[in-house]
Structure 1
Amino acid sequence: MRAPLLNLLLITSVAGASLAQAQTATPQTAAVSPEAIKQREQELEAARARQKSAEEAQAKLKVEITALGQDRTQLNQQLIETAANVRAVETKIDEAEARLRALNGREQQMRASLDSRRADIVEVLAALQRAGRRTPPALLVRPEDALQSLRTAMLLGAVVPELRGRAEKIAGELGELVALRKTIAIERDQLASDRDKVRNDQTRLTALVDERQRQQAAREKDLDAENSRAIALSKQVGDLQGLIAKMEQDLQSAARAAEKAAEAAKQAEAKAAAGANSSANSSAKSGPGAFKDKSRTTPAIAFASAKGLLPLPVNGNKIRDFGGSDGVGGVQKGISLATKPGSQVTTPCDGWVVYAGPFRSYGQLLILNAGGGYHVLIAGMERISVNIGQFVLTGEPVATMGSTSQVASILATNASQPVLYVEFRKDGTPIDPGPWWAANEGEKVRG
């Protein structure tokens, strides 16, 4: 019974290479078999079914959005919740991909270990073969088959202790490899499911954003002219502070937004003064619960009071921090986050859009007036989906990252990777945004 084991593990160590050669070999001239034709027909039918399902989903989504009508609160709720779902699934995908990289690396290590010990495996299997009395079974090439044969040989035959120990060690490694393969398969299935979900959520989010902008356009008849004038004005200034001043002075919608921000800041100060005698009431209004009202048209709380509450605007890794080197001998005035292509960008705070468009080396630039002399600048996106003068809520989707860096090399460490740049300003001076970010995911404001 032990005779086939010589073949089994030898085949295990070389089967992968043989299979790879077979898969990469280019067929000379082979006629299309009936099985291949049938498979293609099945693939075509599956594609048609997916298309039909997508069309039905689109029709259902259209009905849902139409039902929202002009209900701004419900639309905001749907926007923020869907954007949060997209961000959450993006995070799950990143984590799953990291786990898969580790698992695949472990599998390669195990395969390399078995291959490097081929001589020892041959010796063990040869000894088991000589001790066997039965004819070797059919050729087996999978680790599962080799593992089963080893176990059978050890159970049925009287093997010397030393040989048995070596065989058990090999069987243990094969068992670990089999279990690892099962884990990898489960992770890949979950990753595929998550990717399908994020695609569906992104489709829904796109439709919701289009509806929001359609309603905004209906209220602002001169949006196109305003946007064109904003871009023209941006070319007349050379720095960010000049751009902010130019927009809020010369552009009608940006000026209105700045006035509303100033008025909201005064009201917030008055409320804070009036509620100074009631610490419990003040605490409730300045915590995460303040962001629950989706019908608000002014910031939920004063920006200065939002420290420790705001979410980062995108999923990514921080590659440059405030106050660090900017790569050219200067000091970084904001933070830079390396993201994945197509990542969803949401607002880190409530505020009015005073600029949305291309600017200098920043790529697409979004500037929010958060009131109280605070401005939030977000740059490096490929597409912005809000307009100047628009009030946006914390966690609301406002832009999408591209596939490569849209900012100058001064802001990015890798030009092939999307990078989002975020800067906070108080009365025109860049400030450290660190105190405003939520300490962990559970404390982030999702709207």
Structure 2
Amino acid sequence: MLGAAAEELDQADTARNRVKALTATVRAYEAGLAAMREGLRHVSIREAALAAELSSREAEIAQLLGVLQTLSRNTSPVLLLHPAGPVGTARSGMILADVAPALETKAAELRAKLEEARTLRTLQQAALNQLQDGLDGVQKARAALSEAVADRKDLPKRFTEDAVKTGILIASTETLEGFASGLSDIATDEAPGSLPDITARKGSLPLPAEGRVLRRAGEADAAGVTRPGIVLATRPRALVTTPTAATIRYRGPLLDYGNVMILEPQAGVLFVLAGLEVVYGAAGQVLPAGSPIGLMGGDQPSAESIVRQASDGGGSERSQTLYIEVRQGNDPQDPETWFQTAKEG
């Protein structure tokens, strides 16, 4: 997956639609790195289980090795002789014939487990270089994407934002609801019509970023505050895209939500995405589905820290949070009725 993403990045440098190509490249890198994290986690879990098993059988293994070493030091004729004479020799030979296969089976089992332990360690060492290449690649792809978005001039615009009215609206509102209700007042020269109705797609829209639901609508946070949206835990620098074609109604800082992107996929419906570090685009632009709208914050972890975290039993590193709210007719809706989410959280 990481190799394919690297090839896509090279091709995207000359692609006609660089934003679309680079968006796909960043997504491919994110998926590849996530797969490597999960693989490393499974490797570490297996290695820990194997180490614990070998440690618990230390006495048994030492005894087995002692017996095998004793057998290897003696020649076959000496082993077959017994002080009690031919009968004793026959009996000892029979016992040895019974014991030898069992010893060989145990020795083979031990060799296999030791070889597996070596293989797991080799996998972890090899993954370090591959991870570093992937992390370098996704960083390059994000930088190229930001540049391509800044250079993009071909997006249609439904309206022009009145900066003065926007400033007044921000200064005069204390809630997201109040701000959303006044969004239509900051638009000038708005074109008539709207994007197609997406009601039939409710429940099937992709989430704006790869992550898992950390808090659902109406669930209290650590401070006891409840909000009508969901909180999605994402990895640092995760790419955020629009789930469907939509008009940018607002982008920028708002209240205590950090950087906010408000999208209008159809008349009367708003998708509010808050907590981004970088936001792309301008108010009034109409974006195709899957278009990049920003990046999450945080520092990208190093390859060494990812391997170390996997060895400790982790592997998620979802330290950033994206708040997602859906408003219809300015009334909050449960986002999980609109987006595909993992119910187990």
Alpha-carbon separation, structure 2, partners of 1:330 and 1:202: 34
Q: Which amino acid aligns with 2:169?
A: L
**Does the alignment pair 1:343 with 2:238?**
yes
Cα distance between partner residues in 1 of 2:263 and 2:32: 29
2:144 pairs with 1:242: no
Instruction: Give the counterpart letter for 1:302 in structure 2.
Output: D
Q: How does 1:44-59 map to 2 (within 5 A)?
A: none
Quote the offset at 1:333 in angstroms. Answer: 0.8
- Give the structure 2 partner of residue 380 of structure 1: 275
Aligned to 2:284: 389
Q: CA deviation at 1:309?
A: 4.2
Distance 1:119 1:236, change over 3 A: same
Contact 1:320/1:332, CA 8 A, preserved across alignment: no
Give the direction of change, closer, same or farther, for the CA distance of 1:228–1:339 in structure 2 (3 Å limit).
farther
Distance apart, 1:85 and its partner CA: 3.1
* SS across alignment from 2:31: helix
1:97 and 2:37 are equivalent in the alignment: yes
Give the distance between the partners of 2:268 and 2:102, measured in 1 at CA: 79
Deviation at 1:161, TM superposition (A): 4.0
CA drift of 1:104 comes to 1.3
Query: What is the deviation of 1:366?
Result: 1.1
Equivalent position of 1:425 in the other structure:
327
Alignment match, 2:193: 264
CA distance in 1 between partners of 2:116 and 2:164 (Å): 63
| TM-score scaled by length of structure 2 | 0.72
Contact kept? 1:247, 1:255, Cα under 8 Å? no
Mapping 1:154-193, distance limit 5 Å: 160-184=100-124, 187-188=127-128, 190-193=130-133
Report the equivalent of 2:135.
195
Q: Are the aligned partners of 2:212 and 2:341 in contact in 1 as well (CA < 8 Å)?
A: no
Greater share of helix residues, 1 or 2? Answer: 1
| CA distance in structure 1 between the aligned counterparts of 2:324 and 2:135, rounded to whole angstroms | 27
Q: Cα distance, 1:83 vs. partner?
A: 1.5
Provide the C-alpha distance between the structure 1 equivalents of 2:188 and 2:340, rounded to a whole number of angstroms: 31
**Paired residues of 2:252 and 2:260 also in contact (CA < 8 A):** yes
**Alignment check: 8 A CA contact 1:84 1:395 kept:** no
Give the Å deviation of 1:302.
1.3
The SS at the match of 1:313 is coil
AA aligned to 2:193 is A
Does residue 5 of structure 2 align to residue 110 of structure 1?
no
Aligned to 1:310: 205
Question: d(CA) in 2 for partners of 1:425 and 1:238?
Answer: 17
In structure 2, distance between residues paired with 1:120 and 1:425: 66
User: Could you say which residue in structure 2 is the equivalent of 1:42?
Assistant: none
1:380/1:110 CA distance change after superposition, 3 Å: same
Mind listing any 5+ residue stretches in structure 2 that lack a counterpart? 1-8, 75-95, 300-317
Which has a greater percent of strand? Answer: 2
Q: Match of 2:298?
A: 403
> What percentage of residue pairs aligned between the two structures are identical?
30
- Rounded to whole Å, the distance in 1 between the matches of 2:341 and 2:210 is 15
Structure 2 counterpart of 1:396, one-letter code: S
Partner of 2:257: 362
C-alpha separation in 2, matches of 1:385 and 1:429: 26
Structure with larger RCO (C-alpha < 8 A, sep 6+): 2
Which residue type is aligned with residue 201 of structure 2?
A: A
| TM-score, normalised via structure 1 length | 0.57
